[in-house]
Amino acid sequence: MSRDIRELLADKEFQRKMEKLAGLYPEERSALLAALHLCESETGCCGEEFQEYIAGKLGIPRASVKGVVTFYEMFHEKPRGKYLVQVCRTLPCMLAGAEILLDHICGKLGIRPGGTTKDGKFTLVTVECLACCDRGPSLMINDTLYTGITPEGFDKVIKELD
């Protein structure tokens, strides 16, 4: 996830993948989400330079690409940390202690939601729902879901991360 966007755009293999994606859809512009996922997986974000590239490649306005990137929480305009910590902020999780957990995480990592630690290890965000309303508070670190997590449980989890 640490490839530079310029390096990616110049990569012939990436260009081939983009051509293949565009060809999978009846209209090239329909490949937008797939292209954004590809960039996100390769570089960790879908920054301005990639948005401009993809708009030209798929023949759609740049504002349309930006609208999709900023609408979906799974896309990011800035690089994220190695570990993406997503804390559910919906009412059931908040009633189960997510606000206390979030305050603890902010203190432990030294960042607020939307921030990344100086060492680039963690990015903290809040999300609307992780579909675990009966087992809150819940959070995800990258693709691993944790439910009923306490501040102490969070400390144990991040200690086990390399």
Query: What is the spatial distance between Cα 97 and Cα 101, in angstroms, rounded to a whole number?
Result: 6
Q: Report pLDDT for 1.
A: 42
pLDDT at residue 73 above 80? no
| pTM of the complete model | 0.70
* Tokens read off for 42: 């390769």
The residue from 43, 71, 99 where one domain ends is 71
CATH at residue 61: 1.10.10
CATH at residue 142: 3.40.30.10
Q: What domain range is 145 assigned to?
A: 83-160
pLDDT at residue 45 above 90? no
Burial class of residue 97, CB neighbours in 10 A (0-12, 13-18, 19+): middle
Question: 110 and 67: one domain?
Answer: no
Mean pLDDT, residues 59-88: 91
Provide the mean pLDDT of the chain. 90
Residue 42 resides in a domain: yes
Question: 18 and 48: one domain?
Answer: yes
The proportion of the chain whose per-residue pLDDT surpasses 70, expressed as a percent, equals: 98
Domain count, the chain: 2
Question: 19 and 65: one domain?
Answer: yes
Confidence class for position 9, pLDDT limits 50, 70, 90: confident
Residue 148 resides in a domain: yes
Residue 78 resides in a domain: no
Question: 144 and 98: one domain?
Answer: yes
pLDDT in tens, 94-147: 999 999 999 999 999 999 998 999 999 999 999 989 999 999 999 999 989 999
